[in-house]
Structure 1
Amino acid sequence: MPNQDSINSELEVVSLKAPAIPRRSRLFPIEPIGVGTAYTESLTSYLNRLAQEHCLTSRTLIMREIAPQIMGQDFEVSYRKKKVSSLFANTDAKPALNGMKTMTQNLTQALEYLTQREDLKILSFLTWKRVISERELFRQYRAWCPDCYEQWKQEKKSIYEPLLWSFRDVKICLHHQCQLIDECPHCGSRLPVIANFLLPGFCSRCKEWMGRDKDGRKSTHPRDIEEIRSNITSIGELIAVVPQLKYEPTMEELIRKLQFISFVFESAVSKDLTRFVALGNIMEQLKIAVGQHQNKPFHLVKLIIPVCQRANLTLSQLFLEDIQWLSRILFEHFHLGYKV
């Protein structure tokens, strides 16, 4: 007959404590589109698709779920019947909402809490807030490529708005070699990125499909495309590289890199005066910008992109690589005899 000790050793120990249950998300944690590419989805596009996934209008989702998270104790039940303009004023309902605004941060945090996702910050330009100025960076209204919309529809892909389309300098679609449209071809309206009812790919005013514009749409001459291709490609690079960053770029690090590039430019000109023709203007701009920055972010299109072009660097190299790597590449490119 087994003794008491052997019986006890064979009994399974069962904990009477309630098991830890992970927190469930309030909203579907749908996957953002195009992450890690130049065509990463914008934050406002994600919001509008989220409403569509829940069979809700944008207004209902915003005022019933998002507004309480953003407003906190200031939220009142009566707000649920109001229009989105009571939360997103005219200044907030523009493409800059996908940029670096305080409301961008608030909206991101609210959506991350409701979906339990931790990667929605990459759907805006918040990562670059410390180092890049938002001045003249974003559009005033929605812009889109009707050929992209039509292609995605024909291929039965999700219709969305890439973050790239929010930028003022992105005036053409490099894929379809055509101009972006910023007015509805049916009603002529200029459209906000947040509205009471907004289905991706449709006009929020007349509710018409905006894919494949009417025959009167202007084409873009190949030469015109080449003139602005560099800016568009560089902006797309910054969007695509965000998931690879180990930490947010800081002013201190960027200034050190720009000062080093300035030194390389000056050394290159000293060695070969003919380089002054190509480098003289950007050297002066860079010297002024770095000397007078006062911790103010730098202009992307007017300074950072031209500096990288003259240095034969990509923007991803500028922000991903360290000074030692940059020095080796730049010394080699400008044929300088310095050793790292």
Structure 2
Amino acid sequence: MDNNFYFNLLEVDRKAVSELYCLIPIGNQTSQVESLTSYISRLAEEHSVSVGMLMNKLIFPLIDNEYLLKSSQYGGNRFYDGARSLNGYCKNSIAFSKSVQSLTLRRDLMDLTLIRLKHIVSLRHLLKQNLSWCPQCLNEFKINTKVHYPLVWHFQAFQVCLFHETELINECPHCNNGIPILTRKSLNGHCPFCNKWIGYVGGDNKKECNTRHKSINSNIEQLLTLDTRNIQKISYSLERMVQRVSQGNIAEFARLTNIPKVTMWDWVRGEKLPDLNRLLSICFKLNISIKELLLEPYNSGVAEKSYDSYPSISIPQKSSRRVINIQLLRAELIKYLKLEVPISLTQVSKEIGYDRKVLYKHFPNECETIVERFSKYQEHRVNLRRIELSRQVRQAIHKLKSEDIYPSRRKVEEFLDKPGLLREQSIKLIWKAEVHN
């Protein structure tokens, strides 16, 4: 035997061997990259095990999280109900990416999440609660590649497939159930409830794609391939755009782009991250790409755009500041102080038509009283709810015991038709006291 061949075999032996197949993600480094939940489902299928088995036996033990370990031992759907977070950028998505990477010895699975958008957009209204898909795309995946779910399908704003001019569907065409992002029995392209193929859809599902759909899809796809390492703060990008469009007037920019003024101030000051839907709306109104909005301020070689670049928007003359009638406004506030059922100061400001800051500035005492009354009212409602739920739980326990059924948490929740009720600590304590009484 050739000595070199022998030593090469020894060298292979010394190298790390992955516990799971080193499965290559589909579409990586492209706008059609598959999602992490899709990859996990394919990984389970490749090993001829269920997603639940893969999670319980290999992935959960690698993650130091008590509720995941309890889920693997005792069941429960808490993890799967929130599985959409795996495709985002929270702790779950990072932990699961790293865990699956360690099992497959891959180094690119974080690219199947939205980790690159962590400092750019908020998680609010970012991801869909349930799966949506283009049936024609699934049919093509089945023939040409492997069945998978692209990450773009998980964005709330992504509603239309431009390739097939088809509206994404979100219910199984056979049993009409909404399909969760991930379940213990997930199999890409199949409904976990009726196990049927979801690529086929009868009838006409065509959607007339307008310029707004094209703008949204194009910008979301840009985000997935954008190098965001140079973006230090989204607030800086927005500030520069405000300067160009409305000469630094944030209130005017907010009005022109139909964003609440206070919200825009929070974004530009860096106090909050903008939500993606509103960023996409700004891009559409200004006729610019998300890449231009985010990266242009950091590209020193790019010439400044003049205001003429945004023909669809015109700035009117500055309106004069509204005069406040102190007496009338105080009289309005006093009416709200006399309401039998108190409402929040936020609701009061909406109904009166003045910002909370204006009200606090001129009527601090009245505002404090409104806030205090509403807070006490809310506390009273919480106490009443707790008393009523405690009564119902005791009643359910006594009823189950009388039928010789052990009143476990799940049995009590099923009896009351209130799933997750006993996760509330105060109600859980009532259940414990009654069960062990």
TM-score (norm 1): 0.76
- The equivalent of 2:191 in structure 1 is 203
Distance in 2, matches of 1:35 and 1:321, equals 25
- The equivalent of 2:434 in structure 1 is none
Q: Does 1:228 align with 2:213?
A: yes
**Matching residue within 49, 65, 70 for 2:63:** 70
Contact persistence 1:128–1:248 (CA under 8 A): no
Contact persistence 2:255–2:261 (CA under 8 A): no
Q: Does 1:50 align with 2:43?
A: yes
- The equivalent of 1:3 in structure 2 is none
**Matching residue within 61, 77, 85 for 2:77:** 85
What amino acid is the match of 1:28? Y
Distance in 1, matches of 2:206 and 2:170, equals 15
What amino acid is the match of 1:281? R
- The equivalent of 1:239 in structure 2 is 224
Distance 1:310 1:220, change over 3 A: closer
State the Cα distance separating 1:239 from its structure 2 match: 1.2
Alignment of structure 1 residues 129-148 onto 2, 5 Å: 129-148=118-137
**Matching residue within 117, 137, 140 for 1:151:** 140
- The equivalent of 2:266 in structure 1 is 292
Corresponding pairs, count: 296
Q: Once the two structures are superposed, what CA deviation does each residue of 1:182-226 show, in whole Å capped at 9, x if it has no partner?
A: 1101111111121111111111111100112122x532124xx43
Report the aligned-residue RMSD.
Answer: 3.1
- The equivalent of 1:250 in structure 2 is 232
Q: Does 1:60 align with 2:34?
A: no
Alignment of structure 1 residues 106-185 onto 2, 5 Å: 106-153=95-142, 155-185=143-173
Contact persistence 1:201–1:209 (CA under 8 A): yes
- The equivalent of 2:290 in structure 1 is 315
State the Cα distance separating 1:36 from its structure 2 match: 2.4
Local SS of the residue matching 1:71: coil
State the Cα distance separating 1:72 from its structure 2 match: 6.2
**Matching residue within 184, 201, 204 for 1:213:** 201
Local SS of the residue matching 2:77: helix
Q: Does 1:100 align with 2:74?
A: no
Distance in 1, matches of 2:212 and 2:289, equals 17
* Percentage of identical aligned residues: 25
Contact persistence 1:39–1:236 (CA under 8 A): yes
Structure having the larger proportion of residues in helix: 2
Contact persistence 2:160–2:166 (CA under 8 A): yes
Distance 1:59 1:173, change over 3 A: same
Local SS of the residue matching 2:305: helix
Distance in 1, matches of 2:285 and 2:302, equals 15
- The equivalent of 1:264 in structure 2 is 244
Distance in 1, matches of 2:110 and 2:160, equals 25
Contact persistence 1:145–1:179 (CA under 8 A): yes
Distance in 1, matches of 2:119 and 2:254, equals 28
Contact persistence 2:172–2:191 (CA under 8 A): yes
Contact persistence 1:202–1:208 (CA under 8 A): yes
**Matching residue within 22, 31, 49 for 1:38:** 31
State the Cα distance separating 1:39 from its structure 2 match: 1.2
- The equivalent of 2:415 in structure 1 is none
Contact persistence 2:230–2:298 (CA under 8 A): no
Contact persistence 2:231–2:294 (CA under 8 A): yes
Contact persistence 1:262–1:286 (CA under 8 A): no
State the Cα distance separating 1:142 from its structure 2 match: 0.7
Unaligned runs of 5+ in 2: 1-9, 311-437
Distance in 2, matches of 1:111 and 1:195, equals 17
State the Cα distance separating 1:37 from its structure 2 match: 2.2
Distance 1:141 1:265, change over 3 A: same
TM-score (norm 2): 0.60
Local SS of the residue matching 1:236: helix
Larger relative contact order (CA 8 Å, sep ≥ 6):
1
What amino acid is the match of 1:227? R
| Larger displacement relative to structure 2 (256-265 or 18-27) | 18-27
Contact persistence 1:83–1:196 (CA under 8 A): no
Q: Once the two structures are superposed, what CA deviation does each residue of 1:137-175 show, in whole Å capped at 9, x if it has no partner?
A: 22111111111111222x332110001111112111111
- The equivalent of 1:6 in structure 2 is none
Distance 1:330 1:22, change over 3 A: farther
Distance 1:68 1:249, change over 3 A: farther
Larger radius of gyration: 2
Distance 1:231 1:284, change over 3 A: closer
Local SS of the residue matching 2:303: helix
